[in-house]
A and B are shown apart, each in its own frame.
Chain A
Amino acid sequence: MAKKKIDETTVQLNGKTLTIGSGPVGVYRTTGSIAFDILNYTVIGLAAFTTVLPILYIIFNSFATELELQTRSMFLIPQTWSVDAYRYIFASNKLIRAFGNSVFITFFGTLINLLFTVTMAYPLSKKFLRGRTPILNLIIISMFFSGGMIPGFVVVSSWLKMRGTYWALLLPGAISAYNMMIVKNFFQGIPAELEESAALDGCNDLGILGKIVLPLSLPVLATFGLFYAVGHWNSYFSAMIYLTDDKMYPLQLILRNIIVTAEASASDMSLMDPNFVEPPKQSIKMAVIVVATVPIMCIYPFLQKYFVKGVMVGALKG
């Protein structure tokens, strides 16, 4: 639907002066309207501020000394800056190794995701392909019904024997049916003439996909690559249930073990437990949180751009 632009005009109506502006919503200036705007801008501003405040608080306080954290009750900017917490967490190679594991899982996981998604979406974008409809139905059914948590766990860990290997983290989510359908729809929109000319030049389907289709779909692949990558980076659950060797743990799982499990056991009644381990200090917890968040924050500008586009595509097509 084409949006009609309204020119800035003033209309006299019923003795009132209305200024009709050029925004998507016409501007109608009365005292009530101005008051509403002031309130609205303030509330939105406050909401945005409270959204980032906890993140800012953790980042700044991770550079405070443990003494200041214990003595000063609340502050955002520390008086004395120190990198002790970071020095402490990077002293053992546990966190560095976990960081490396996360990078490994994210990189290869996303690679597998894109490879599987594209090779499934491309043939299904060909309407002449025999067997296309039953396969599409099979995929759609899988979007609405699933075996559930335990059968999935049994299949991956004991029937396919993937427990304790990275395969259990990389393969079970290789294709998101929803993303695959959107990629398929995008492929369908590529003019058939382009592919036909390549076929005349003696390209097989694999060549057409690599030389014509994929270069044309780079923005879409970037969007879904980021979708998948953020999913891998942020996940802890499959690592928690499938990995057995703690040298293989990704960052999110280490973070959970350092903060959540330690804190939970501290608030348990098990204080008499001889194996009780003192939970780590505040500044150290904060530093670990920052290390786990920084990579996401670094790519956030790209994320926002592509993710909003991805959600829009999904919303309009669906």
Chain B
Amino acid sequence: MTTKAVNAPGRKVGYWRKLGLDLVKNKWLYIMMIPGLIYFLLFKYLPMWGIIIAFEDYSPFLGPFKSTWKGLYWFQRFFATSKWWDYLQNTLILSFMSIVFTFPAPIILALMLNEIRSVPYKKVTQTLLYMPHFISIVIVVSITYVIFGTDGIIYKLTMQMLGHSIDYLGDPKVFRWMIVGQSIWKETGWGTIIFLAALTNVDTQLYEAAMIDGANRAQRLWHITLPAIRSTIVLMLVLRMGSVLDTGYEHLILMSNALNRSVSQTLDVFVYQNGIVNGQLSYTTAVGVMKSVVSVILVVSSNKIAHALGEEGLY
């Protein structure tokens, strides 16, 4: 639109002119937004554009514009190594174990807490159960090393009971159970909050009616309480599906060592090891891109399944 048209008499004031007036009138509001906007562009959108290095032989000295274009070379190379299947397998097994064991834990605990009627008892136990959520993952892993390491109390206890001990920190067979155990210890209590919130919305009249009909506690739990949090459970599960390939690398990096490498190398850990530590930036960006694509597919399809089951799902 030209300025002439804007100023022509009898015409509506044009978009750009209106915007100009607005910019003057609300100048402080727009000025206030500048740091935030720069933040989103630099730290959120620039990295998205930075995915371009997955298609280049990126060299930090040449920069993204002068590095040579490689097309899909890195993607092909990843699948050409026989290792990719190991990384994917490690990722999926760990995720599957987390969905089977870590995911239901807060639901069960929330249902149990919901049945406690002594308010002080509930308060005290909740306070204790929420506590590990605030402890950093470094401390969780450090406590694990101190307790399960060769000088640790659990190591010695196993020694006394079995006559030989288990290498809790190095044995590939116990590695995944350690990860699952740490996650359960850290997040189960905190995870109950969202389910307890959903449970406070249950209409108590439903319970009264069920009682008059002679339903016992187990029946009330099954027919009233569980359906009440069903949609929350489905929503959380759909969200969880989106991160099936995210294995919590900040946690895994701390727990992985030379002995358990065969099981601790998930896609995330591979990207960290080879990208940040070894500097193969283009290669690992390509692996990251593939991971994101699979994640999107998983969210969309699990959301479809949720719809098919008659739930609202994520969107």
Chain A residues in the interface with B (C-beta under 8 A): 1, 3-4, 6, 11, 13-14, 18, 20-21, 23-28, 30, 32-33, 36-37, 40-41, 43-45, 47-49, 51-52, 54-55, 57-58, 69-70, 73-74, 115-117, 119-120, 122-124, 126, 129-131, 135, 138-139, 142, 145-156, 158-160, 171-172, 174-175, 180, 204-206, 209, 230, 233-237, 241, 252-253, 255-256, 259-260, 263-264, 267-270, 282, 285-286, 288-289, 292-293, 296, 300, 303-304, 307-308, 311-312, 315-316
Closest to B282 in A: A150
In Å, the complex CA distance between A237 and B201 comes to: 39
Q: Does B3 contact A (CB under 8 A)?
A: no
Q: Does B1 contact A (CB under 8 A)?
A: no
Please indicate the chain A residues that have their CB under 8 angstroms from the CB of B258 in the complex.
Answer: 264, 267-270
Please indicate the chain B residues that have their CB under 8 angstroms from the CB of A37 in the complex.
Answer: 115
Question: Do residues B30 and A123 form an inter-chain contact, with CB atoms below 8 A?
Answer: yes
**What is the CB-to-nearest-CB distance from A150 to chain B, in angstroms, rounded to a whole number?**
4
Please indicate the chain A residues that have their CB under 8 angstroms from the CB of B47 in the complex.
Answer: 146-148, 151-152, 154-155
Count residues of B near A (Cβ-Cβ below 8 Å).
104
In Å, the complex CA distance between A253 and B136 comes to: 11
Question: Do residues B115 and A312 form an inter-chain contact, with CB atoms below 8 A?
Answer: no
In Å, the complex CA distance between A32 and B218 comes to: 10
Q: Does B197 contact A (CB under 8 A)?
A: yes
Write the B142-181 contact mask toward A (1 if CB under 8 angstroms, else 0): 1101110101110011001000000101100000000000
Q: Does B208 contact A (CB under 8 A)?
A: yes
Please indicate the chain B residues that have their CB under 8 angstroms from the CB of A135 in the complex.
Answer: 33, 37
Question: Do residues B128 and A260 form an inter-chain contact, with CB atoms below 8 A?
Answer: no
> What is the total of A-B residue contacts with beta carbons within 8 Å?
306
Question: Do residues A175 and B36 form an inter-chain contact, with CB atoms below 8 A?
Answer: yes
Question: Do residues B204 and A26 form an inter-chain contact, with CB atoms below 8 A?
Answer: yes
**Which 5 A/B pairs are nearest by Cβ-Cβ distance?**
A147-B47, A120-B36, A234-B136, A151-B50, A148-B288
Question: Do residues B284 and A26 form an inter-chain contact, with CB atoms below 8 A?
Answer: no
Please indicate the chain A residues that have their CB under 8 angstroms from the CB of B169 in the complex.
Answer: 263-264, 267
Q: Does B216 contact A (CB under 8 A)?
A: yes
Say whether chain B's binding surface is mostly helix, strand, loop, or mixed.
helix
Q: What are 9 A-B contacts defined by CB distance under 8 Å?
A: A33-B217, A44-B109, A44-B112, A54-B143, A55-B132, A174-B39, A175-B36, A267-B257, A315-B194
Question: Do residues B217 and A48 form an inter-chain contact, with CB atoms below 8 A?
Answer: no
| Known contacts A148-B51, A153-B276, A252-B138; is-contact A260 B43 (Cβ 8 Å) | no
**What is the CB-to-nearest-CB distance from A86 to chain B, in angstroms, rounded to a whole number?**
16
Question: Do residues A205 and B271 form an inter-chain contact, with CB atoms below 8 A?
Answer: no
**What is the CB-to-nearest-CB distance from A199 to chain B, in angstroms, rounded to a whole number?**
11
Question: Do residues B288 and A150 form an inter-chain contact, with CB atoms below 8 A?
Answer: yes
